[in-house]
Amino acid sequence: MSQCVCPWWLGYFLATPLRRLYQDPRAILAPWVYEGMTVLEPGPGMGFFTLELARMVGQTGRVIAVDVQPRMLEALVRRAKRAGLEDRIETREPRGEALGVEDLAGKVDFVLAFAVVHELPNTKGFLAEAHGALKAGGRMLVAEPKHHVSEVAMAETAALAEQAGFAREETPTIRGSRSVLFSRRDSR
Ligand SMILES: C[S@@+](CC[C@H](N)C(=O)[O-])C[C@H]1O[C@@H](n2cnc3c(N)ncnc32)[C@H](O)[C@@H]1O
């Protein structure tokens, strides 16, 4: 299910404030993200969601943003600094096919995978990592772009997530996206 990676320059378009008119990060995330949370965001690009996540988790929370393209992360850090949010955001590059988040095992409240799963080289591996990183009852929102990801492909991802130990909670309505909210099924 792995596809090609979105070119770095597209990051500027994805992070434009105009996108808010179509996909408002705060409105999308508000039901599940609260102050003090630890959030893992694979594939943040230049931080369209990351900055809002950092605002929402507040001074006591943090966001760990893992992107394979250093240029995306560099722009994300620049934007975070301009917004005074850099202390709440940690950026990382993945380790090979893995995100490399073993140190976060059981510490993450929320995983945001927005428009990224179809680009990952190993969906099963990602889901296992996300599951391992989440606290018991922690949640994960997977949102995939309708124009890239078919209903069938999304259903396959959801089935793999269930095999990895996630339960489907709901299918939120997000413009232009196929979206499923999952929760960690088992308890530690
Ligand atoms: C389509 S962009 C979405 C960016 C952002 N989530 C948004 O909605 O604006 C996909 C992002 O995933 C990143 N990506 C692709 N493969 C990745 C991998 N294996 N690990 C981490 N990030 C990856 C790309 O570099 C790109 O920044």
Position 161 in a domain:
yes
Nearest-atom index, ligand 1, CA of 97: 19
Q: Tell me, using a 6 A CB cutoff, whether residue 74 lines ligand 1.
A: no
Give this prediction's pTM.
0.96
How far apart, in whole angstroms, are the C-alpha atoms of residue 92 and residue 70?
9
pLDDT by residue (tens digit) across 117-138?
999 999 999 999 999 999 999 9
Q: What percent of the chain shows pLDDT beyond 70? A: 97
How far apart, in whole angstroms, are the C-alpha atoms of residue 65 and residue 67?
7
Q: What separation in Å is there between the alpha carbon of 11 and the centre of ligand 1?
A: 9
| Predicted pLDDT at 186 | 74
Q: What CATH number should be reported for the domain holding residue 52?
A: 3.40.50.150
- What is the domain count for the chain? 1
Position 150 in a domain:
yes
Give me the DSSP letters along 22-38: T--HHHHHTTT--TT-E
Q: Which domain holds residue 128?
A: 26-184
How far apart, in whole angstroms, are the C-alpha atoms of residue 50 and residue 126?
19
Position 132 in a domain:
yes
Question: Chain-wide mean pLDDT for the chain?
Answer: 95
Position 14 in a domain:
no
Q: What separation in Å is there between the alpha carbon of 120 and the centre of ligand 1?
A: 8
Q: Which of 13-17, 56-60, 87-91, 127-131 comes out lowest in average pLDDT? A: 13-17
Q: What separation in Å is there between the alpha carbon of 52 and the centre of ligand 1?
A: 17
How far apart, in whole angstroms, are the C-alpha atoms of residue 60 and residue 121?
33
